[in-house]
Structures are given as structure tokens and as C-alpha cells.
Amino acid sequence: MAKRDLDKQSRVAVVFAAAAMALVAFMGVFVYAGPYKDYLNSAQTLERLKTQETEALLVRVDEEQNQLELEEIAQRIEAREPRFDLKGFMSRVLRDAELAERSELQNLKPSERLMGEYADNLSIVQLKLHGVSLSELVDLLHDIYASKNLVVMHKLDGLRTDPNVRGLDFNATFLAPKSG
């Protein structure tokens, strides 16, 4: 009978030992599949998050730069004369450059199809010059842009040599935001 009890005790010990080994094996697989795998992947996750942080900082810097540029534009609009007229400004620049007699200046209505909701806030003029030298044209454009009146060339419609006269024919559309 003692032998039988010993066998029964041995069996119980073997069953407990087998259960303990199975539990240890299960824990080993669980730890490798779960937390340890997450630990190994954490380096990649950390690099990805650092990249996202860098990109977010770059976007923030870009947004701050854009905000500063918008504030500068608003200040330039406020600083110019209260009743700024694009056609009058362009006429004055053409007279100062002694190009008035070789120019045609015409107001255009902004197209809502092209300009969208901003059409009502823009002044547009078309400038045609005939028989101007390249240096005269460059000086004129420099005078327009140096004025800080936020006048931009919207479209260059043509720049070619004038077959009848010495010089260039220039055709472009300029725009500027309206005051107020």
C-alpha cells in the first residue's frame, strides 16, 4: 500500500511538474509574443514618432512664417495711400519712366470664375507697351515692385520684338488688392 501511495504521490508530483512546465512554456511564449515583441517594436515606434514630431515642428514653422507674411501684407495694405488706385499708380509709374506715350493701360474686371470669392477685392489692369528697350522694361518692373504697393504681375500675355520699330512689345496683366 505504501508503494501505491508513493505512486499516487509521484503521479501528483509529475502532474504538478508537467503543469508547472506548461505554465512556464506558456508564459515564455506570451512574454515573447506580447510585451517583449512590443519592446522590440518600440524602437521603430520611437523613430516614427520622432519623425512625426519633426514634421509637425516644420509645419508649425511654416504656419508661423505664413502668418508673419500675412501680417506683413496687411501692414503694407494699411500703409499705402487710403484710396489706392491701381490704374492711377501704373499711370504715374509710366509717366515717371517716360513710357506713357508708348503705353496702353486699361482697367479689367476680375473674373469670378478665375478669381472666385476674391474678385471683388482685386483691381486689375492690362498694360501694353510698344517699342520699349529691355532696360526700360526692367526699370519699369523694378519701379512697380519697389513701390511696396502689393502690385503683382498676374499674367504675361506677350513679350516679343516689335517688327515695325526697334524694341519690344510687352503685354501683361497686373493686379493689386483693393484698399479697405
Instruction: Quick: pLDDT tens for 99-113.
Output: 888 888 888 877 666
Alpha helices by DSSP H, the chain:
2-31, 37-79, 86-96, 112-115, 134-146
Question: How many Cα atoms occupy the beta-carbon half-sphere of 76 within 13 Å?
Answer: 15
- Do 100 and 148 fall into the same domain? yes
Q: Report pLDDT for 115.
A: 64
Whether residues 75 and 90 fall in one domain:
no
Q: Do 105 and 62 reside in the same domain of the chain?
A: no
Tell me the C-alpha distance between 46 and 68, whole Å. Answer: 33
pLDDT at residue 3 is higher than 60: no
Query: Which of 79, 113, 141 marks a domain boundary?
Result: 79
Do residues 44 and 110 both lie within one domain? no
Last residue of a domain, one of 32, 55, 79: 79
Closest alpha carbon to 130 in 90, 89, 158:
158
Examine the domain organization and report whether 94 and 121 are in the same domain: yes
- Predicted TM-score (pTM) of the model is 0.58
Domain range for 61 is: 1-79
Based on the domain organization, do 90 and 173 belong to the same domain?
yes
The DSSP secondary-structure symbol of 151 reads -
Same domain, residue pair 38 and 117: no
Check residue 180 and give its pLDDT.
58
Number of folded domains that form the chain = 2
Cell of 27: 508564459
Q: What is the mean pLDDT of the chain?
A: 82
Q: Which residues of 1-33 are buried (b: 16+ CB within 10 A; e: fewer)?
A: eeeeeeeeeeeeeeeeeeeeeeeeeeeeeeeee
Q: Report the distance separating Cα 122 and Cα 115, nearest Å.
A: 9
Running DSSP on this structure, what letter comes out for residue 178?
P
The pLDDT, as a whole number, for residue 60 is: 95
Name residues whose C-beta falls within 8 Å of residue 161's C-beta, 6 or more positions apart in sequence.
167, 168, 169
| pLDDT tens per residue across span 145-157 | 888 777 888 888 8
Q: C-alpha grid cell for residue 132?
A: 520699349
Do residues 71 and 93 both lie within one domain?
Answer: no
Give the CA angle between residues 142, 72, 148 to the nearest 5°: 20
Alpha-carbon distance of 15 to 8, in angstroms, equals 10
